[in-house]
Structure 1
């Protein structure tokens, strides 16, 4: 493959990865927005998953660029782009599955919290049951000087 077709493949592949990554980020941020309770946490998790997506797919792009396919440069670029698109689709599906799993986990945690503390019911706090013990003065002990306690 000549230099022009190599550069064309890398540029087209990088553009496709960037576009798909932005689609994943924007839709994933909206998808996870309500599962975390605040949008900042959902956006942060989506950003982490999107960065992973970009790194993996760009690495695959670089590996594919070294494979010789096709009999002429144009055919080689088209075949490489076809392989890249198939792998990009698989990576996209895997990323969406990861985002769905994250959302499911967050929803399960929220349901567990709601079941433990249902809204609308006051949270009951366990109060210790302490009762005051009355201290009554005991009568003074008396020494009886009458029989049978007298000793001879």
Structure 2
């Protein structure tokens, strides 16, 4: 591969990585700001994940640039770009998974910090039934409703 083909692959690859990283950063910042009470904290977490994405994918780009794919310049560049795009898709999915996990942990933390509200204790005997008992079934809480065809509890044929 000639120097021009090598440099064009690196330029296209770096542009793809930077564009994808910016998409992740901007979308991830809005995604995490909604779950954090402090928008700056959500932006900070997104920045950390995006920096990791950039470092990993630029490292992979450097490694792919050294692999010999194809004899001439154009097939070699196209082959490398194809491999790079597949790896970018995988890295993008992993990054989205990391952002989703961070948001899930933030939501759990918010629920824990709010604390559970004490529920008033109600004696089960004084509480009204949650469903109306079906004729022919014993107790206040029937197990199943009768089927519409047979007007009896569900059964296997």
Larger radius of gyration: 1
Higher relative contact order, structure no. (Cα contacts within 8 Å, ≥ 6 residues apart): 1
Q: Hey, what does 1:43 align to over in structure 2?
A: 43
Q: Hey, what does 1:54 align to over in structure 2?
A: 54
Q: In 2, distance between residues paired with 1:41 and 1:35?
A: 10
Q: Equivalences for 1:1-152 in 2 at 5 Å?
A: 1-116=1-116
Matched position secondary structure for 1:28: helix
Shift, 1:117, TM fit:
6.2
Shift, 1:112, TM fit:
1.2
Shift, 1:101, TM fit:
0.2
Matched position secondary structure for 2:115: helix
Q: In 2, distance between residues paired with 1:6 and 1:56?
A: 20
Q: In 2, distance between residues paired with 1:57 and 1:17?
A: 7
Q: In 2, distance between residues paired with 1:5 and 1:67?
A: 13
Cα distance change, pair 41–117 in 1 and its aligned pair in 2 (3 A): farther
Matched position secondary structure for 1:50: helix
Shift, 1:36, TM fit:
1.6
Q: Deviations over 1:106-141 (max 9, x none)?
A: 0001111222468xxxxxxxxxxxxxxxxxxxxxxx
> TM-score under structure 2 normalisation?
0.73
Q: In 2, distance between residues paired with 1:117 and 1:55?
A: 44
